[in-house]
Structure 1
Amino acid sequence: MATAEGIDGGNGVLLRPAVAGDAVRWLELLHDPDHRRYASPAFVEVPADVDALAERLAGSAAAWSESAPGTLVVVAPETPEVFLGDIGWRWSTGERLAAADLGYGVHPDARGRGLARRALVALTRWLLAPDGRGLARVQLDHSTENPASCRVALAAGFEREGIRRGYLPLRDPDGSVRRHDVCLHGTVTPPP
């Protein structure tokens, strides 16, 4: 259920706009080596410090207030002040097609609890619901070298639709940039 405060997934996650108190843990996620390797395309500038996150923090609240594409923070309903991860959406090819691309990340100390799957289910339900955004399609892709993200997508009800060869430029651990094949997942049906 969506409210002015965010989306209550009814499944142990709450998605809400970011606040200043999220900055330190959000920065830790953005600088986590696994997150940087698989979730941050090489052309995306990773904020260097908490001050550099100010625009993202403000953008999260503004996007939510307008039901516009943006990033939300993943928290547990019983501890809504503790940042556990982020999940965001953007127009796939423009608003007119009513299709969204999703991306997510889980703080290293919150991994292994099914948070990404539950957050993905909650956001997807809202995006596809007639009383939410009412979109026609939701999709995501991930490096074929990231099997954990594939398991999350499948567990959240996304079908595997194919491979995009050489699609995403990602940084390898040595700092070099290499184009990864990505696995495309999509759904047109809200998850149960």
Structure 2
Amino acid sequence: MTEDIDGGIDEGTGVRLRPLREGDAPRLLEMLHDPDQQRWGSPAFVPLPADVAELAERIAASSRAWADRQPGTLAITDADDVFLGDISWRWSASERMAVADLGYVVHPDARGRGVGRRAIVLLTRWLMDPDGRGLARVQLDHSTENEASCRVALAAGFEREGVRRGFLPLRGPDGVVRRHDVCLHGTVVQPTG
């Protein structure tokens, strides 16, 4: 695994992780407004940005977090630096627990190509690497109705651990918000890839 303070993380898997950049904004905005992302990924209380200008702080925060090796969002790119999605991590409870929660989104035109799985594996390896963050556990969850996300988590080496009932408020295609049960996945060892 190679890492540099400006560039991000690369392992030769066909995806790289790096801080968000201004040039990612148009594809990031498209991705956030995708109906499937709104249905499965964005909690109903998170406002959607109206235009690329509203993404400026999110992009700046990504660079700051990466420079400080703190929780944040990274762009998922291909070898040509094309934005394919994003992946984020945060402390599950406190930093002392050494447990991170992951979230990821793949741009609609990059879905079905293993992008999410490879990004999860890459970030998890970095988070659990003693030279990265040295975390003890990484976990993610998704609506139990989002079968594609379940397949991605399992393919990334995350075990299914249980269901949290009524956990996540999501906006349906009709705009109505309802609470979804979520499936929890976790890993305490390096996932295979």
TM-score calculated relative to the size of structure 1: 0.97
RMSD between superposed Cα atoms in Å:
0.7
Q: Is the 8 A contact 1:9 1:118 kept in 2?
A: no
* Total equivalences in the alignment: 190
Check the 8 A contact 1:139/1:184 in 2, yes or no: yes
Contact map agreement 1:143 1:180 (CA 8 A) in 2? yes
Can you list the C-alpha shifts for 1:2-56, whole angstroms capped at 9, x where unaligned?
2221010321110000110000000000000001111100111111110000010
Cα distance in 2, alignment partners of residues 147 and 122 from structure 1: 22
1:191 Cα shift? Answer: 1.4
Report whether the alignment pairs 1:12 with 2:14: yes
Aligned partner of 1:44 in structure 2 is 46
Unaligned ranges ≥5, structure 2: none
Aligned mates of 2:156, 2:78 — CA distance in 1 = 18
Q: Counterpart in 2 of 1:27?
A: 29
Which letter maps to 1:164? R
Other structure's SS at 2:90 match: strand
Task: List aligned pairs for 1:168-179, cutoff 5 A.
Answer: 168-179=168-179
Does the alignment pair 1:57 with 2:59? yes
| Correspondence for 2:119 | 119
Ranges in structure 1 where 5+ consecutive residues have no aligned partner: none
Q: Distance in 1 between matches of 2:98 and 2:104?
A: 20
Alignment of 1:11-160 (within 5 A): 11-77=13-79, 79-80=80-81, 82-160=82-160
Q: Which residue of 2 aligns with 1:3?
A: 4
**TM-score (normalizing by structure 2):** 0.97
Give the CA deviation at 1:98: 0.8
